Amino acid sequence: MTVLGTELVGERSAERNAVGGPVASRAGQFSWAFFDWANQPYFTLITTFIFAPYFAAGFVGDPVQGQVLWGYTQSIAGLAIAIGSPLLGAVADQTGSRKPWLGFFSVIFVVGSVLLWTALPGAPDGPAFVMAAVVCAALGMEFALVFYNAMLPTLVPEKRMGALSGFGWGIGYVGGLAALFFVLMFLVADAESGVTMIGIEPLFGLDPVMREAERFTGPLAALWYTLFSLPIFLLTPDTPRTPIKARAAIRAGLVQLKATFLKLRSYKNIGLFLVARMTYYDGLSAIFAFGGIYAAGTFGWEIQTLGIFGIVLSIFAALGAFLGGWMDDRFGSKRTILVAVAGLVLGTLASVSITADTIFFFFSVPPPVPGAGPFTSVGEQVYMAAGILIGISGGPAQAASRTFMARLAPNEMMTEFFGLYALSGKATSFVAPFVIALATAAANSQRAGLFVVVAFLLVGFVLLLPVREERTAA
């Protein structure tokens, strides 16, 4: 704990938090940040490195058609989240407390994740049920994050929000790395040898032929989340609950939400940030969601190689998040985001420039040799380097965006604006996967679909340039 220092978490003192209340204890602040450790394995194992590539290549059985179906699945989830997040934020502002909502949507996430176990290879019962489970898990997670993010300014002074947010993202990536390492070392077995990377039979007797390790990532993410989310419920202080009943809160929330959208003309600076964040975050989410799928289809990477790729990226993403927290407090949220998005543009351009036998669009290289070790071909090595740049840029982009919203929003409308913040992360996120799916299907090419990502990142970068880093009064 000494590594956190008072600069990160502070002592309980006469200091006030960003909304004028008491600063939370060290334990309360750390427990809030530790929730990122609890939720990150969902993103690492399910949406990025293990389950998503398995969904395309193993569950559906066709990488191109699998990318199309995964794109449609993410589109459906994104649309539902876009509609629901701002309303939930407005309702929570009426009821006061965030933890009950956090708990409710946590249950939905856990149920959806557990059901991913049913994704038998080849989709013998069709993909609809598993796609519905993926949507359920996504809704539960993203709605829970609305209320989690809104707790940030109630814990520390404004000058330390960047450090705490960056610390949360950093240990989140470490949590995802730990979960991924566990899967690779103890659960995933080679189909021929029947042993894991450390030479043992997989725990729980998971059958590699039936792809049980990949399917087990759903229940594992649910168990991990359930266990490690306990500290935030037990130790992190919550905003006091108001006497408003749920039905009245929904009515008042709808009125408040309508008023907020109407008043966005008075919050033009926040509105511009939300549009910018909506755009670059869509690109960021898409490259994380489809990067592993693209690698599996391009290089034929199996789960162990994808896992190693994920471990390396998670290490650099964690380093980037910690560095981003420091940059955020020292140079400001806006500058941190701009640098991070520029890194994402370069990394994504490099990624889509690579095929099995070309790099940077035009340069021919020898393709991977069947049976050779992982990352032995030039294309794989360049793809790894591009992935590292994306990883080290993704952490600061996400952490500083959360802090930027907390610095811009009026104190008494914090959760409502974090609902809009969640909306800005999902309002067009259903568009990016949908366009990727359409482009992939039309060109019968995974690569064609990923060119969409670069445009989202570039437009988001440009839109952020005129945003001012100052709080707006209600």
Report the first-to-last Cα separation within the chain, whole angstroms.
Answer: 37
Structural domain contains residue 1: no
Q: Which residue blocks in 42-160 are alpha helix, DSSP H?
A: 51-54, 63-95, 99-114, 128-150
Quick check: helix, strand or coil at residue 363? strand
Structural domain contains residue 474: no
Per-residue confidence (pLDDT) for residue 416, from 0 to 100: 66
CA 384 to chain centre: 20
Per-residue confidence (pLDDT) for residue 222, from 0 to 100: 97
Structural domain contains residue 91: yes
Length of the chain as a residue count: 474
Domain that holds residue 173: 23-464
Per-residue confidence (pLDDT) for residue 147, from 0 to 100: 87
Per-residue confidence (pLDDT) for residue 430, from 0 to 100: 66
**Tens place of pLDDT per residue across the chain (474 aa):** 333 444 444 444 567 876 677 888 999 999 999 999 999 999 889 988 789 888 987 898 787 788 788 888 888 887 887 777 777 776 776 777 889 889 999 999 999 999 999 999 988 888 999 999 999 999 999 899 888 987 888 888 877 877 787 788 778 878 988 998 899 889 988 777 778 878 888 888 898 888 899 999 999 999 999 999 999 999 999 887 777 776 777 777 677 667 767 766 777 888 888 888 888 888 887 777 777 777 777 777 777 787 788 778 878 877 887 787 788 878 888 889 999 999 999 998 888 888 777 888 888 888 777 766 677 788 888 888 988 999 889 878 887 887 888 788 776 666 667 666 766 665 566 677 777 777 777 777 667 777 778 888 999 999 999 988 765 554
CATH number at residue 83: 1.20.1250.20
Q: What residue type is 444 in one-letter code? A: N
Encoded tokens for 250: 């929904």
Exposure string for 387-414, b = 16+ CB within 10 A, e = fewer: bbbbbbbbbbbbbbbbbbbbbbbebebb
Per-residue confidence (pLDDT) for residue 1, from 0 to 100: 31
Under DSSP, the state recorded for 22 is B
Burial of 49 (0-12, 13-18, 19+ CB in 10 A): buried
Helix (H) or strand (E) run with residue 392 in it = helix 378-408
User: What's the number of domains the chain is made of?
Assistant: 1
Per-residue confidence (pLDDT) for residue 8, from 0 to 100: 45
Confirm if 355 and 365 have CB atoms less than 8 A apart.
Answer: no
Structural domain contains residue 11: no
Per-residue confidence (pLDDT) for residue 326, from 0 to 100: 80
Per-residue confidence (pLDDT) for residue 7, from 0 to 100: 44
Encoded tokens for 289: 């969601």
Structural domain contains residue 13: no
